Amino acid sequence: MKFRTLEGLTVLFSWAAGLLLLSAVSLLLGYLLIKGYQSVNLSLIFGDASPLRAVLLKERVFDGLFPAIAGTLVLVILSIVWAIPVGVAAGIYLAEYAGSRVKKVLDVFFDVLSGIPSIVVGLFGFSFAVFLHKHYSDRIGPCLLISSIALSILVLPYIIRTTQASLEGIPLDLRLTALALGATRFQNIFLVLIPRSLSGIMSGIILAIGRCAEDTAVIMLTGAVASAGLPHSLFSQYEALPFFIYYISSQYANPDELMQGYGASIILLLLCAGLFSLAYGIRKGLNYWAFYRP
Amino acid sequence: MSHSNTENIKIRVADLTFSYRGRRILNDVSVDFAANRITALTGPSGVGKSTFLTTLNRLWENIPDARMKGRVEIKLQGKFRDVYARDLSVTELRKQVAMVFQTPNPLPMSIRKNIAFPLKLAGEKNREVISSKVENTLKMANLWEEVKDRLNDDARNLSGGQQQRLCIARALVLEPEVLLLDEPTSSLDQASTTVIEELLTGLKDRLTILVVSHYLEQVIRISDRVVEFADETIVS
């Protein structure tokens, strides 16, 4: 009887927690949409410029979010490009090759890394930029490259941990299947274990994309500025949506400007949704290519 | 415990001792197995029958905290080879000494790719050769007629019995000399069990088969010899 009551309470609590989460997300999205939907239009993105000419890079956008959207997109892609190979490789090493002692040490190291506040990572990026400026070239300063490297450090633990957990979660039977058929350890990892873990690995990458797209503390110290136009090189400063949202919400002069902040938030969410869909599509495509292609 | 006909011996095991996490599983086991026979390994749970199989293809080496001592020799291409000798590659050994597990374990890929997988590992790239071997092996495993129209479907959508026959076919595609089966029918219904037993009986002309089984009736039906395990060793 006691256990039945306890089970009933657990189920009730689980339902309530799920419902609370769903309500919180719905409330947040609803609030953003209600506040910002009126300001989301072509003029918010392109200002007075012609959208087509702006997209074709024939006209510069001065008073719209287009440079910030482009900056965010380039920043996220660069950060993920740096983070994926290192994160996946480290996850594979921890799950498949590391001895128990090395694993313990690295586990602590990556736990510490995942707990470092983003402002500290930003400060590290800034210090790195200053170091390069002093010792290598005075043309190097806070820029897109430094921001993307700092962000990739910030998101590395997500990719490492999800890769490691996905690989370690594979049942022993499946782990031994390819080996019993004559596969080498390397073949087993790359032909069976990693493809089988793609879903988990992609979850980590999606988390990392979200984090790269939203983080403000890192980029405000390493290269994001309020007005820079489209990013034209790895060493240029750039505009980014989270920085714009932070800037406008702390400096707005009138309600219309604040509305632009809400509009930018909706665009940032849509951008993330687009990147998540792309990541999901890539996962499906890779899965088909690896396992079901005739 | 040696087999009487030394001419026909395929596998020789001598002084085999195995422990896992410090616990002795097999103690000083010596036994020979004849070629082109089905030998059933029986005995209560936990006496090391499945472990014994993994010492023949060195699969135990992938299990952490396991230790083994002793000598295992298998006649491959007409010549006895020390399974643990440095000059015998473990991947080559496993291509010759194939294994099928207790639970059907199709890889998460299509039926065709499951069968072609060992060929891919062996470096076979010719699509025609692969297609022909896939077809022949599925026919050998009595599965071709059931799957020929859906070779690109996910293998995990097959029934349990079909999945296990697929796994046997996959193990056979490289034409191994020895087939190890660890309770291959324990998770299957009677109809699927019968199909697999017939399949194994039909294969013994080409292969040496060692099958772990708990089922006395099955042992009587299919095996030419029974080896009984108990208390860390072989008792009959």
Domains and CATH numbers, chain B: 6-234 (3.40.50.300)
- pLDDT tens-place string over residues B117-171: 999 998 899 999 999 999 999 998 889 999 999 999 999 999 988 999 999 999 9
Which one of B59, B99, B108 has the shortest CB-CB distance to A196?
B108
Cβ distance A173 to B109 less than 8 Å, yes or no, reads: no
The per-residue pLDDT for A264 is 93
How many C-beta neighbours within 10 Å does residue B199 have?
Answer: 19
Establish if A284 touches chain B: CB-CB under 8 angstroms: no
Q: Which of residues 23-62 of B touch A (CB under 8 A)?
A: 57, 59, 62
Cα diameter, chain A: 75
pLDDT at residue number B2: 46
Where do we find the tokens 């403000």?
A216
Q: What are the residues facing B81 on neighbouring strands?
A: B74
Contact B94 A182 (CB under 8 A): yes
Q: Which of B59, B103, B109 sits opposite A180 (nearest CB)?
A: B59
Task: Give the residue from chain B lying closest to A190, CA to CA.
Answer: B121
pLDDT tens for residues A101-152? 999 999 999 999 989 999 999 999 999 999 999 998 888 889 999 999 999 9
Q: What is the spatial order of strands in the sheet that B233-234 belongs to?
A: B97-100, B178-182, B208-212, B38-42, B225-230, B233-234
- Among A7-11, A81-85, A144-148, A169-173, which stretch is predicted with the lowest mean pLDDT? A169-173
pLDDT cut 90: percent of chain A above it: 64
Give the residue with greater pLDDT, A285 vs B58.
Answer: B58
Query: For residue A104, how far is the Cα from the chain centroid?
Result: 27
Q: pLDDT digits over A206-245, tens only?
A: 899 999 999 999 999 998 988 888 888 999 999 999 999 9
* Mutation for B interface: A170, A181, A186, most B CBs within 10 A: A181
| pLDDT, position A288 | 77
Find the Cα–Cα–Cα–Cα dihedral B87, B92, B98, B102, rounded to 10°: 80
Domains of chain A: which residue ranges? 76-292
| pLDDT interval class at A82 (50, 70, 90) | very high
pLDDT of residue A266: 94
Cβ neighbours for A107, distance < 8 A, ≥ 6 positions apart = A94
Per-chain mean pLDDT for chain B: 89
- Identify whether the C-beta of residue B167 lies closer than 8 Å to the C-beta of residue B158: no
SS3 of residue A253 by DSSP: coil
Judging contacts by C-beta atoms under 8 Å, the chain B residues touching residue A196 are 108
Decide if B16 contacts B32 (C-beta within 8 A): no
A217 close to A149: Cβ distance less than 8 angstroms: no
Q: Do B174 and A182 touch (CB under 8 A)?
A: yes
For A210-224, give the DSSP string: HHHHH--HHHHHHTB
* A76-292 fold: MetI-like fold (1.10.3720)
Q: What pLDDT was estimated at residue B207?
A: 92
Alpha helices in B122-177 (DSSP H): 127-140, 144-147, 160-172
Choose among B101, B105, B118: nearest Cβ to A182.
Answer: B118
**Residue A116 near chain B (CB below 8 Å):** no
Average pLDDT value over all residues in chain A: 91
User: Which residues in chain B touch residue A173, judged by CB atoms under 8 angstroms apart?
Assistant: 101, 103, 105
Q: What is the 3-state secondary structure (H, E, C) of chain A?
A: CHHHHHHHHHHHHHHHHHHHHHHHHHHHHHHHHHHHHHHCCHHHHHCCCCHHHHHCCCCCCCCCCHHHHHHHHHHHHHHHHHHHHHHHHHHHHHHHHCCHHHHHHHHHHHHHHHHCCHHHHHHHHHHHHHHHHHHCCCCCCCCHHHHHHHHHHHHHHHHHHHHHHHHHCCCHHHHHHHHHCCCCHHHHHHHHHHHHHHHHHHHHHHHHHHHHHHCCHHHHHHCECCCCCCCCCCCCCECCHHHHHHHHHHHCCCHHHHHHHHHHHHHHHHHHHHHHHHHHHHHHHHHHHHHHCC
What is the amino acid identity at position A214?
E
Q: Which is more confidently placed, B65 or A239?
A: A239
Q: What ipTM does the predicted assembly reach?
A: 0.87
Highest mean pLDDT among A50-64, A74-88, B204-218: A74-88
Element (H, E) at B100: strand B97-100
Residue of A nearest to B96 (CA): A182
How confident is the model over A157-169, as a mean pLDDT? 94
Closest residue, chain A, to B154 (C-alpha) = A292
pTM, to two decimals: 0.81
pLDDT per residue as tens digits for the range B79-111: 999 999 998 999 999 999 999 998 888 988 899
pLDDT class of A294 with cuts at 50, 70, 90: low
pLDDT band at B7 (very low <50, low <70, confident <90, very high): low
The predicted pLDDT at position A1 comes to: 66
Q: Residue A100 pLDDT more than 60? A: yes
